A and B are shown apart, each in its own frame.
Chain A
Amino acid sequence: MDYKNIEELLKRYWECETSLEEESQLRDFFSKEEVPAHLLPYKDLFVYLNKQQETGLGEDFDSRMMSKIEVAPVVKAKRLTLISRFKPLFRAAAVITLFLMLGNVAQHTFLSNDALDYNYNNYRDTYDDPDVAYKKVSSALMILSEEINKSQSTSLADSLKANADSVVKE
């Protein structure tokens, strides 16, 4: 074994000039059984450094940690999913209302232009108070009679005019 190399590494180790690979090389060397007497004083240091890599926390820490992070903050996570959970619902509701509205519009345009109903038996009262109904009807008839009178008088006048013309011609 070439101890010169190790001695050189050790010297550079104390000067902090060794690379990470060289340092692990040193630790490997000193954790072996046979170490020459003049290097023996340093053995324990590197054995110690090597052994320290093994200390740590037990398995029970994992479960304790996982239960800790699952107790408090998950409530927060739930609140987030509640909001996002409503999103598709809103979307579905919007689509459904849209379809309903379209259906209504379609019904109105396609079904409302059927022929007038001539069956008088199906007619229903439009006024509750007979007086009001009477007034409406009489005013309507009044307008009608007025118009008829107007047209009759004008047609009479027209025919008179026509007669007068023919008389003039004769």
Chain B
Amino acid sequence: MQEISFRNDILPLKDKLFRLAYRITLDRAEAEDVVQDTMMRVWNKREEWSTYDSIEAVCLTIAKNLAIDRSQKKEAQNVELTTEMEQAADASGPHDQLVESERLQLIHKLINELPENQRAVMQLRDIEGKSYKEIATVMQMTEEQIKVNLFRARQKVKEKFLAIDGYGL
């Protein structure tokens, strides 16, 4: 087993962990705290590093759990985003008047509007490019459940995205 060093193997995971935590908590500061807590936890268990199959999967799992714990304490966030998104959709005028970054903002909100598990799975698959097997370990679910979650997430994004786009036109 290869020697794992904190600086070379765990610290570089910070962006991936941050993106996952950010996707779940929807709050930058909160996500940064999650990454910090995750790394502290992994650091405190450094005697066990050699027994892990994949340190990345372990880190992602811890980050996911911490992020879900935190976001459950701030449940109101989802409702807030929905209303905001509807307003944005209403205000969105003709297609070519939309600046590209605004449309990206819209997609951002669309994905963040999904249930926690779905957006976490979509994050891991479509942004981090992980295999179903890896996602299953991180999310502590079966591969089948992952596929179901991903399917629902993509369908919902497609549906809503095309609907909003239709309004725009």
Contacts and interface: CB of A to CB of B under 8 A. Distances in A.
A52 interface: yes
Given A14-B155, A65-B36, A69-B6, A52 B15 contact: no
B108 A24 contact: no
A106 interface: no
Interface residues of B, number: 40
Interface string A65-87: 11011000100000000000000
Interface residues of A, number: 27
Contacts of B131: 20
Contacts of B19: 52-53, 55-56
A62 B12 CA distance: 9
B127 A16 contact: no
Interface string A45-69: 1011101110111000110111011
A129 interface: no
B43 A45 contact: no
Specify the main secondary structure of chain B where it touches its partner. Answer: helix
Contact of B162 (A41, A47, A51, A68): A41
Interface in B124-139: 125-131
Interface in B75-114: 100, 103-104, 106-108, 111
A13 interface: yes
A15 interface: yes
Contact of B104 (A13, A14, A44): A44
A57 B18 contact: yes
A24 B157 CA distance: 18
B41 to A, nearest CB: 11
B154 A44 contact: no
Nearest to A55: B19
Contact of A47 (B6, B7, B104, B111): B104
Contacts of A23: 125-126, 129
Contact of B32 (A20, A61, A62, A69): A61
A55 B22 contact: yes
A37 B128 CA distance: 28
Contacts of B9: none
A30 B6 CA distance: 37
B165 interface: yes
A76 to B, nearest CB: 10
Interface of B: 6-7, 11, 14-15, 18-19, 22, 32, 35-36, 39-40, 43-44, 100, 103-104, 106-108, 111, 123, 125-131, 147, 150-151, 154-155, 157-158, 161-162, 165
What 5 pairs between A and B have smallest CB-CB spacing? Answer: A56-B15, A48-B107, A52-B127, A16-B151, A44-B103
Given A16-B150, A45-B157, A65-B39, 8 more contacts: A14-B158, A48-B104, A53-B128, A56-B14, A57-B15, A65-B11, A68-B36, A69-B6
